[in-house]
């Protein structure tokens, strides 16, 4: 694409705006297409939390659960009674993901046209972003609100007395209302602001005064969400965390490496790329921040990309094993890459080739990851349960009751003829004709399973595998009873 040389900024902006609009439409279509899959376990969990509520106000103070993302939960509460369509249930996330594309382009445009186009393109197909944009959860709207908040914050750094601080406050309030994990990110925004203003003025008092002026309205905007969390805690007698896993440094590092690879379209299942993501990619990012980024964003990139896993390691925080806990780092990583592309483009023609290659390779990787995701969605868990439901004896057992049990209850209630879940203790006595096994490591390659005590061993053969290449749901296999060896 060529841009005409003109003195009129509005004329220069037209081709860029048109290109970004096209990418936003492409991003929306991709997200809509992937939203046709059946609900994942955590989405079903959200509905289970909402089902007993007597009125909408109870969504705010009658759940008190870490899976209650207020904005998304209110949408589900009002929509679920009149439609169970998965795309409609996920509409807030889908629209938020598509809206993020022009917002990222606007942030990139502060560096240059190439950065704007790269930021929009990478956001359009980012595998990590799309996995949350196609789910009825709060991550997509929280990501959009946080990026809008950061964009307003940058404008406020340049003009502390401007109206940008009110835009920052509104976006901050929406971010926390979308997902409580936005709260720690806003704290990082505060530290970034203080450090950036001190860098600019070299006077701590000015930095402190301006930081307070910027964040006082944001604190007021966040206060209503904090109030309903406290009210829920008092009403329900505590705050429930649905799943707990003890701290392990390997979990933190592995999850953050996964986030970086999937954000950039690199195959997280590749051992070679995993080692690259673990050992080399952080060093490449640090070098890029030091050499390719303008000074006013260096502190922000270094903090917002790396601070969350560092804090999790330092404080030994539990439950930091899924990549989603570092979700706010993803858009800033995309923005960093877009600025690197702009930096390369501004140099010699060879560097321009490098810029195109950088963005092109990442987009191709994203497309490959999305193709694998599409193939994984071709065998949904609901179809696997339909095989059991339509059989002569619809009973199954599982080694994965934590998730399968909830999905099975949802299937029985809304999707098909009831399936009976046999307890592990009754496996030998009832001899269920079906078995669901979670796939971990080598288990994914087992065509048969032998279960039960030695005197009643049951042999099962694999029927189908579901959830493979779908990051929001663990892969599991459906087995059929073959014989008793």
CA 197 to chain centre: 30
Same domain, 318 and 446: no
Same domain, 303 and 387: no
**Number of domains forming the structure of the chain:** 2
Same domain, 22 and 145: yes
- Residues 14-64: pLDDT tens digits? 788 999 999 999 999 999 999 999 999 999 999 999 999 999 999 999 999
437 bridge partner residues: 477
pLDDT value, residue 255: 94
Same domain, 217 and 244: yes
Tell me whether residue 4 is in a domain.
no
Tell me whether residue 1 is in a domain.
no
CB 134 within 8 A of CB 35: yes
- Residues 145-157: pLDDT tens digits? 999 999 999 999 9
CB 27 within 8 A of CB 97: yes
Instruction: Work out the mean pLDDT of the chain and round it to a whole number.
Output: 91
Same domain, 373 and 385: no
- Residues 232-288: pLDDT tens digits? 999 999 999 888 889 999 999 999 999 999 999 999 888 999 999 999 999 999 999
- Residues 242-257: pLDDT tens digits? 888 899 999 999 999 9
Q: Which residues neighbour 5 within 8 Å (Cβ) at sequence distance 6 or greater?
A: none
- Does the structure show a pLDDT above 70 at 2? no
CB 257 within 8 A of CB 306: no
- Does the structure show a pLDDT above 60 at 3? no
* Pairwise CA distance, residues 45 & 67, whole Å: 8
pLDDT value, residue 189: 98
CB 17 within 8 A of CB 101: no
* Pairwise CA distance, residues 373 & 469, whole Å: 5
Tell me whether residue 3 is in a domain.
no
Sheet with 458-466: list strands edge to edge.
Answer: 420-421, 395-398, 434-438, 476-483, 458-466, 448-451
- Does the structure show a pLDDT above 60 at 173? yes
Same domain, 324 and 209: yes
pLDDT value, residue 444: 60
- Does the structure show a pLDDT above 50 at 1? no
CATH number of residue 444's parent domain? 3.40.190
Other C-beta atoms lying within 10 Å of the C-beta of residue 19: 17
Phi, psi of 458 (to 5 degrees): -115, 130
- Give the domain extent around 418: 381-483
> At which of 377, 398, 427 does a domain end?
377
Strands 448-451 and 476-483: unpaired
Q: Is 400 helix (H, G, I), strand (E, B) or coil?
A: coil
pLDDT value, residue 6: 38
> At which of 307, 342, 377 does a domain end?
377
CB 93 within 8 A of CB 141: yes
Same domain, 365 and 402: no
* Pairwise CA distance, residues 448 & 459, whole Å: 7
């Amino acid at each position: 694409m060529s841009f005409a040389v003109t003195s009129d900024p509005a004329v220069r902006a037209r081709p860029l705006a048109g290109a970004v609009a096209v990418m936003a439409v492409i991003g929306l279509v991709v997200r809509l297409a992937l939203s046709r899959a059946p609900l994942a376990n955590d989405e079903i969990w959200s509905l289970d939390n909402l089902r007993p509520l007597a009125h909408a106000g109870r969504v705010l103070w009658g759940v008190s659960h870490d899976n209650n993302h207020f904005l998304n939960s209110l949408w589900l509460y009002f929509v679920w009674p009149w439609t169970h369509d998965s795309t409609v249930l996920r509409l807030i996330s889908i629209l938020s993901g598509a809206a993020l594309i022009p917002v990222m382009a606007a942030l990139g445009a502060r560096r240059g046209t190439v950065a704007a186009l790269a930021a929009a393109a990478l956001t359009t197909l980012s595998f990590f972003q799309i996995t949350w944009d196609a789910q009825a959860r709060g991550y997509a709207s929280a990501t959009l609100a946080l990026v809008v908040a950061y964009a307003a914050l940058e404008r406020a750094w340049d003009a502390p007395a401007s109206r940008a601080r009110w835009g920052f406050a509104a976006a901050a309030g929406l971010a926390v209302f979308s997902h409580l994990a936005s709260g720690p990110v806003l704290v990082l925004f505060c530290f970034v602001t203080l450090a950036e203003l001190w860098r600019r003025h070299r006077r701590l008092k000015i930095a402190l005064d301006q930081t307070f002026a910027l964040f006082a309205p944001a604190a007021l905007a966040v206060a209503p969400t904090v109030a309903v969390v406290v009210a829920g805690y008092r009403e329900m007698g505590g705050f429930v965390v649905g799943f707990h896993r003890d701290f392990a440094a390997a979990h933190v590092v592995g999850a953050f490496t996964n986030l970086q690879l999937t954000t950039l379209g690199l195959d997280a299942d590749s051992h070679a790329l995993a080692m690259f993501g673990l050992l080399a990619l952080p060093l490449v990012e640090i070098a890029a921040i030091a050499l390719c980024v303008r000074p006013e964003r260096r502190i922000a990139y270094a903090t917002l990309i790396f601070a969350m896993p560092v804090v999790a390691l330092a404080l030994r925080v539990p439950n930091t094993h899924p990549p989603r806990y570092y979700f706010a780092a993803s858009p800033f990583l995309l923005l960093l890459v877009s600025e690197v592309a702009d930096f390369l483009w501004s140099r010699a023609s060879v560097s321009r080739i490098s810029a195109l290659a950088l963005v092109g390779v990442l987009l191709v990787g994203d497309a490959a990851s999305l193709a694998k995701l599409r193939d994984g969605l071709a065998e949904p868990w609901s179809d696997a349960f339909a095989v059991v439901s339509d059989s002569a004896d619809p009973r199954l057992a599982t080694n994965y009751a934590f998730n399968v049990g909830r999905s099975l209850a949802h299937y029985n209630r809304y999707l098909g003829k009831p399936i009976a879940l046999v307890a592990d203790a009754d496996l030998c006595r009832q001899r269920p004709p079906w078995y669901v096994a979670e796939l971990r490591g080598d288990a994914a390659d087992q065509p048969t399973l032998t279960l039960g005590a030695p005197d009643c061993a049951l042999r099962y053969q694999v029927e189908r595998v579901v959830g493979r290449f779908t990051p929001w749901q663990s892969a599991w296999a459906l087995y059929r009873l073959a014989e008793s060896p």
